[in-house]
Structure 1
Amino acid sequence: RQVVRDSIVGERAIDEQTSASLAVLSERLEQLRKLDKVFSDVSFSSAVEKLKAQSNKVLV
């Protein structure tokens, strides 16, 4: 979580650790969605979505 926050605010470069952290958070969100319908509308902020897109570009 700290890695993602630091990458969003520009205190840390977007790297493999950022991508790994985003993957863990994405998996946890999916698990919550499967656990209960109440979580079905929960999503990441636009800042996190933007970071995910940037992270995918870095890994390519």
Structure 2
Amino acid sequence: MILTLRDSRLHVLLQEISEINLSAAGSTHTFRLLEGIAADGKSWIERHGPDSLAPFQIAG
């Protein structure tokens, strides 16, 4: 498949719309975090899994 300049502009426009939607929903940070986890894969989960979390107490 050969992309034309028009297709490239459409792709950029769709990316910008996606960024606006994420920003409006306040989900940009969450999305970036999930992208990083997906890129790092199993090793991220092993480093940051439940067994590696510091204990905490609920104030009450």
Same fold per superposition (TM over 0.5): no
TM-score between both structures, scaled by the size of structure 1: 0.41
The higher relative CO (CA closer than 8 Å, separation ≥ 6) is in 1
TM-score between both structures, scaled by the size of structure 2: 0.41
